[in-house]
Structure formats: C-alpha cells, structure tokens
Amino acid sequence: MNTGKNFLFWLFIMQIISVISCRSQSNTDQTMQNTNLINRKPVVAGQFYPGRPDELKAELIRLFADAVPRQATNDVLAIISPHAGYVFSGPVSASSFNQIDPRKKYNTVFVIGSSHRTMFDGASIYNKGHYETPLGIVKVDLETANLLINKNDVFTYRSDAHDYEHSLEVQLPFLQYILETDYKIVPVVIATQNRNTVKKIAEALKPYFTKENLFVISTDFSHYPEYEDAVKVDKATADAIVTGIPEEFLSTLRKNEQKRIPNLATSICGWTSVLALMYITEVNPGIKYVPVDYKNSGDAKHYGDKSRVVGYYSIAVYAGNDNPAENKSANQAENSDLTLSAKDKQKLLEISRNTLEQYIRTGKIPVVKDNELSDNIKTCCGAFVSLHINGKLRGCIGNFSQDIPLYKVVQEMTVSSATRDYRFAPVEADDLSKIDIEISVLTPLKRIESIDEIEPGRHGIYIRKGARTGTFLPQVGTQTGWDLEDFLGHCARDKAGIGWDGWKDAELFTYEAIVFSEHEMK
C-alpha cells in the first residue's frame, strides 16, 4: 500500500513538473516570438513629413482643419489617398482620411501601395513586426498577414519591397491622427504590373472587403505635365475610376498615353493598387466611388512650380445609400424650414460646452442620450461651431453633411474647432472659462443660377468646381463689409483655391444659418 501511495505521489509530482515545463516553454516561445519581431522603422520622416512628433501633430492639425468635411456616415469602405510630401499632397490626403468616422472600430486596415523600387510577379505583405512613425507604433495584424501569405501564391514577404517604400509609410500618420479606436494594419506592396496577377491579388483580398475593415489605397496621379494639362488628365483618370469599371480605367490610361501630353510620365503611379480595388468592387452594384478633393503640386504655397506638377486626388468608396453624391443636399427642400426653439438652442450649446470641457480635460467625447432630445436636435443637417475669446475668433470648423444628426455634428465640430483649426493652437484647459461658443445651424444647400439670388447677410455661399470647394458663413459678409463680388472672390480664391474669378464658371450654392451663442442666451 505504501509502495502504491508513493508511486501515485511521484506520478502527481511529475505531472505538475510537466505542466510547469510546458508553460515555461510556451512562455519562452512567446518571448522569443516577441523578441524576434522586427519593426519597420520610418525612412522618410523628416523628408516627406515632419520627423518630430510635436511638429508632425501640428502639421496634421493644420491639414485636417482645411480638409473637406466628412460627406457621409461611417460606412466608408475605402479611400484613395496620395503619398507625396505633405507640403504638396497633405491637404488632399487629409480630405481622404477625413471621410472616416474617427470613432468607428475597424478590425483591420489594409494599406495598399504600388512599389516604386522593386518588381516581381506578386505582392509583399509585411509580417515580420509592426510599422513605426514619429507618432508611435502602428500594429500589424500579423495573424491576417501570415494567413494571406500562407494561402495565396501571389503574396510573400520581401524586405526590399518595404525597406525604403514610402507609399505606405506616409499614410500612417493620417491614420494615427484620425482614428480614435484601436486597429491593426496589413501593409501590402504590389510589385507586379501583370493584370492577371493583380486580379488574383484582388480575389485574395475580396473576402476582407467588408464594413468591419477599411482599405487605404495609396497613389499619386499625373506625373510632370504642366499645370493645366495635369488638371485635365487627372480629371479623366478620376472619372474613369468613379465608374467602378476596371476596363474603363485601363482604357482611359491608354488614351491618356496616346494623347502624348508633354512631359506626362504616367497618369497614375499606383494604378495596380487602384486596379486591385476596382477588381474587388466590380461585381458589387451597391459600391459607389465619389471624388472628394483635388490639387496638384502647383497649388502648394511657396513651392508650386506649375511647369512640372504631380496630381493628387482624394476619392472615397461608399456602400449603398451612403454615397453622398446621391443625397439631396444640393437641391433638397427637406429641413429648409427647420426652426429651433430657445430650449433647443440652449440644449445644443449645453451639448457643445460639455463636449468641449470633457474632451479638453479627458480626451473623450461624452455620450448624449438621444431619447432626451427634441426631434429638431436629432434632425440631420449641417452646422458650424465657432469659438471666441474676448470677441476674437479662436476656432471655427463646420460640416455640411445631411446624413448626421445635428447634435452629433455639433459635438464633432466642437472638438474640431478646439483642436484642428490650424490657424490656432489647440484649446487648453486654462482657456475653457474664457471661451464663448457660437453655433450656426445650416439649412440645406440650394443650387443657384445667378448671383442675383444671393442676399448678403442672409445667405452663406458654397462654391464647387470639380473636387475643389469653399464656403463662407452668412455672417462673414456682414462682419467684413465686403460687397457681393468681394464675398465671392475671397471665397473662390482663399477658400476654394480656384482664383479670384473662379466662381464665374463654378457651381454656386446658397444656404442660410440659424446663429446663436452662449453670451446671447445668458
């Protein structure tokens, strides 16, 4: 009996030792795996964009303050964004990333670019570690990266595809700045110009093209023609992309080449990445491509050489009815008679104030219980939020979206005005007690055929020419003392960037605003 008991005792001890040993080995393996991770370090920081975190963040604040506002709700499936130096393409990149809902939780962000340095018949996915920028580490979805490589012959890992490739790196600070939720990326560098291989890449990625993921396609447009030639060829290329038809896109590239435009080296450097996206979406009739913004390097202040330029387009891809091009904001009558009671105005100011206080102190936007709000406050319409200290402007940013409830627009624009207006340093806690909040609730845009329809002081103006837009609130005309032509000229030149007389052949819209502020409501 004693012998049997001793045997069972020692068997029990050996089992414990075995478990401990296994756990120890597992921990060792995990430690070795983590130790063996090789992060991809930034290689164009300090060249394409600021290398110091504080300078980079300040630059991003400035770029997003001037970016085209978000045009729809959170079902943005993909964006096309340029990858040049921020001084040139940064404004257009910011417009692309500004279409993303900052609080949406994406499982994985697929960042896809075409190689500038190496060629082989496939694509490389970085699966050796994470990416780094001056703003910190951007985690790679290693599980998905490895799965794609293991299951698809078109994917591999090659260090020469990533080591010095800038097309992915320059996108990441925008992603770090705009997204407030955790996410991981899959960095893909396409190194082939074989259409069949690109189609295989698209087929492998297609299962991941869902509302839970985001695709960021990195590309510049025309390279090195004169300014006016770039504008024309870039529009032709963008129009082809917007069709969503791969063959239309490829045909347009061939036509651009056949035109023998002086100095045109390429219509679009990342055409294989765009083509992959178009192959992914071509069988889905609910997908819509929408131009958001356009500039070229000739538009860059202090740097713009108009004799040889590079084009930059922002295009967003939406699902179903989230396509802002199909909404009624340009001509709709709904909500044109929106009225706000004194109680509604007070509530919106309260929401704005609470949002401002909490965000500046904690970095979090408070949750508003919409069951406590009136229907007017929950109506979908645009708004601007202006911050003043001692009567002087301290920040002003707005959104014309007709797809977002008013109270949410007010929250988002309060945060943007406080932290993303490049003209001012971000609001600090010491400023809060000095700030007076002004809200301008916007009626829907109304297309006009003649400037005689504009009533100064009553109407705000919205100018659109191609992908370029600009606006002035109604009160701007009153505050500045400008006459109508000055009002239009300043908006066209200073806001839309289309020159003083650019409004003459642009689309013109008017809108009205219900304006109220904290000091008026006291």
d(CA 126, CA 158): 8
Verify that 195 and 301 share a domain, yes or no: yes
Position 398 pLDDT exceeds 50: yes
Instruction: State the pLDDT at residue 73.
Output: 58
Q: Which domain holds residue 262?
A: 53-326
Q: What is the CATH number of the domain that holds 267?
A: 3.40.830.10
Per-residue DSSP letter, 267 = S
Q: Are residues 161 and 250 in the same domain?
A: yes
Q: Are residues 322 and 347 in the same domain?
A: no
- Quick one: 15 and 93 in the same domain? no
Residues 359 and 422 in one domain: yes
My answer on whether 118 and 240 are in the same domain is yes
Confidence label for 381 from pLDDT (cuts 50, 70 and 90): confident
- Please tell me the least confidently modeled range out of 14-18, 119-123, 232-236: 14-18
> How far is Cα 499 from Cα 493, in angstroms, rounded to an integer?
4
Mean pLDDT, the chain, rounded, equals 87
29 and 84 both lie in a single domain: no
Express each pLDDT in 434-461 by its tens digit: 999 999 999 888 889 999 999 988 899 9
218 domain-assigned: yes
User: Does residue 41 sit within a domain?
Assistant: no
- What's the pLDDT score for residue 6? 54
Same domain, 106 and 237: yes
Residue-level pLDDT at 326: 40
Residue 226 lies in a domain: yes
Neighbour tally for 195: CB within 10 Å: 13
Name residues whose C-beta falls within 8 Å of residue 59's C-beta, 6 or more positions apart in sequence. Answer: 49, 50, 86, 90
Number of helices and strands in the chain (H, E):
17, 18
Q: How far apart are CA 68 and CA 192, in angstroms?
A: 33
Give me the number of domains the chain comprises: 3
CA–CA gap between residue 488 and residue 516 (Å, rounded): 25
Q: Do 461 and 322 share a structural domain?
A: no
Tell me: do 370 and 482 sit in the same domain: yes
pLDDT digits (tens, 9 = 90+) for 151-173: 999 999 999 999 999 999 999 99
Please write the tens of the pLDDT for every residue from 15-59: 544 444 444 443 333 333 445 889 999 999 999 999 999 999 999
Comparing CA positions, the residue from 271, 441, 445, 286 lying closest to residue 351 is 441
pLDDT band for 464, please (50, 70, 90 cuts).
confident
Q: Tell me, rounded to whole angstroms, the distance of Cα 131 from its chain centroid.
A: 19
Contact status, residue 68 vs residue 469, Cβ threshold 8 Å:
yes
Residues 72 and 192 in one domain: yes
- The answer for residues whose C-beta is within 8 angstroms of residue 128's C-beta and 6 or more apart is 37, 38, 40, 157, 159
The answer to whether residues 131 and 261 belong to one domain is yes
> What whole-number distance in Å separates Cα of residue 291 and Cα of residue 238?
7
